[in-house]
């Protein structure tokens, strides 16, 4: 009998990789999607699609019918959100109720490092609240507590191209775990396809090494073969930049709080071990993910200059 697996956020950085790897005869995959048209044609043809939002109890309960294990990843709060923690708690409460009603046996979640040490850490604290809510659902759970995603550097691509700067409200000399979404997906897959685990536990996903933003920028500069420097932004300047791009003041302050907490070393709440390390190095990720984006941006800007 095929193992029945539900994947939430199937078009996200992690979810889409998980779905792709589960397209095999031994698995029966179901996904929840607000807009099924965003799914690749190959995926839509091979999975069961439940249209709707995963914060709707009825939708999630229907999607969980007969499912043995669920991959649960809350979509990031939109920039306009005025209650970021409430956003995560709403999804978690809906999931906990649906899991109890469906009797789902196992759940694998995406959470963040720092559990037990983070205080007022914005989205990180919100994810830890998610853990606490889901732990009351009755399911066996593995919370994957991830370091900072390398994919966040993609948001710096325009600044790299136009100004040669990576800027965040974080001291440049504080090392934190950096992890690639591909490695998180691989870790999630290992738990999703296994049937012999129970209980509730947090699993740290740390990437290959802790890296400061000064070090990360030097690596990115070397791979891109173009000048790039790190600039620590003042918290109020960072918040103004976000609100200037449409973010709510509350959302901006949540991200400021997250970086402030990371700067205090909350990531060391989960000790780095051989088992928490994942293979993708920042240099390899930059070559595969950031370099093509920066290169295409440079080409596009050159073409615009030629037309002018």
Q: Where are the domains of the chain?
A: 3-150+178-205
- CATH-assigned architecture of domain 3-150+178-205: 3-Layer(aba) Sandwich (3.40)
At residue 69, the pLDDT reads 98
The model's pTM is 0.94
Would you call 64 exposed, middle or buried from its count of C-beta atoms within 10 A (0-12, 13-18, 19+)?
A: buried
Please give the average per-residue pLDDT across 238-264, as a whole number: 97
Please give the average per-residue pLDDT across 259-278, as a whole number: 96
Q: For a pLDDT cut of 70, what percent of the chain falls above it?
A: 95
At residue 215, the pLDDT reads 98
For residues 286 and 217, the answer to whether their CB atoms sit within 8 Å is no
At residue 49, the pLDDT reads 96
Question: Collapsing DSSP states into helix, strand and coil, what is residue 81?
Answer: coil
pLDDT per residue as tens digits for the range 122-153: 999 999 999 999 999 999 999 999 999 999 99
Angle at 30 (CA atoms; ends 28, 32), nearest 5 degrees: 170
Residue 16 pLDDT exceeds 90 = yes
Please give the average per-residue pLDDT across 80-85, as a whole number: 96
Residue 298 pLDDT exceeds 60 = no
Structure tokens at 214: 């000064």
Angle at 122 (CA atoms; ends 118, 125), nearest 5 degrees: 40
Would you call 105 exposed, middle or buried from its count of C-beta atoms within 10 A (0-12, 13-18, 19+)?
A: middle
Question: Which candidate, 112, 98, 33, places its Cα nearest to that of 19?
Answer: 33
Please give the average per-residue pLDDT across 55-69, as a whole number: 97
Q: Torsion angle of alpha carbons 103, 109, 112, 115, nearest 10°?
A: 30
Question: Collapsing DSSP states into helix, strand and coil, what is residue 52?
Answer: coil
Residue 106 pLDDT exceeds 70 = yes
At residue 95, the pLDDT reads 98
Please give the average per-residue pLDDT across 180-188, as a whole number: 98
Distance (Å, rounded) from C-alpha 110 to C-alpha 116?
16
For residues 197 and 150, the answer to whether their CB atoms sit within 8 Å is no
pLDDT per residue as tens digits for the range 203-244: 999 999 999 999 999 999 999 999 999 999 999 999 999 999
* Average pLDDT in the chain: 94
Residue 275 pLDDT exceeds 90 = yes
At residue 295, the pLDDT reads 81
At residue 1, the pLDDT reads 64
At residue 42, the pLDDT reads 87
């Amino acid at each position: 009998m095929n193992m029945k697996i539900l994947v939430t956020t199937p078009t996200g950085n992690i979810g889409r990789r998980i779905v792709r790897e589960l397209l095999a005869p031994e698995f029966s995959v179901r996904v929840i999607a607000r807009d099924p048209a965003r799914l690749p044609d190959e995926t839509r043809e091979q999975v069961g699609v439940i249209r709707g939002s995963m914060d709707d109890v009825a939708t999630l309960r229907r999607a969980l019918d007969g499912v043995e294990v669920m991959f649960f990843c809350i979509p990031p709060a939109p920039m306009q959100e005025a209650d970021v923690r409430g956003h995560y708690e709403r999804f978690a409460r809906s999931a906990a109720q649906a899991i109890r009603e469906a009797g789902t046996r196992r759940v694998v979640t995406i959470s963040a490092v720092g559990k037990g040490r983070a205080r007022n850490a914005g989205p990180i604290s919100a994810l830890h609240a998610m853990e606490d809510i889901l732990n009351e659902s009755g399911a066996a759970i593995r919370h994957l507590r991830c370091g900072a995603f390398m994919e966040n550097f993609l948001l710096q691509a325009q600044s790299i191209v136009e100004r040669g700067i990576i800027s965040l409200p974080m001291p440049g000399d504080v090392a934190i775990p950096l992890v690639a979404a591909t490695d998180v997906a691989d870790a999630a897959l290992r738990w999703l396809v296994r049937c012999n685990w129970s209980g509730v536990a947090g699993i740290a996903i740390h990437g290959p090494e802790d890296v400061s933003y000064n070090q990360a920028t030097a690596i990115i500069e070397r791979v891109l073969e173009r000048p790039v420097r790190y600039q620590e932004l003042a918290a109020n300047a960072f918040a103004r930049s976000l609100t200037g791009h449409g973010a709510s003041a509350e959302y901006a302050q949540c991200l400021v709080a997250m970086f402030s907490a990371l700067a205090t070393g909350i990531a060391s709440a989960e000790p780095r071990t051989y088992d928490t390390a994942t293979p993708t190095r920042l240099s390899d990720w930059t070559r595969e993910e950031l370099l093509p984006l920066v290169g295409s941006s440079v080409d596009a800007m050159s073409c615009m200059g030629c037309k002018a």
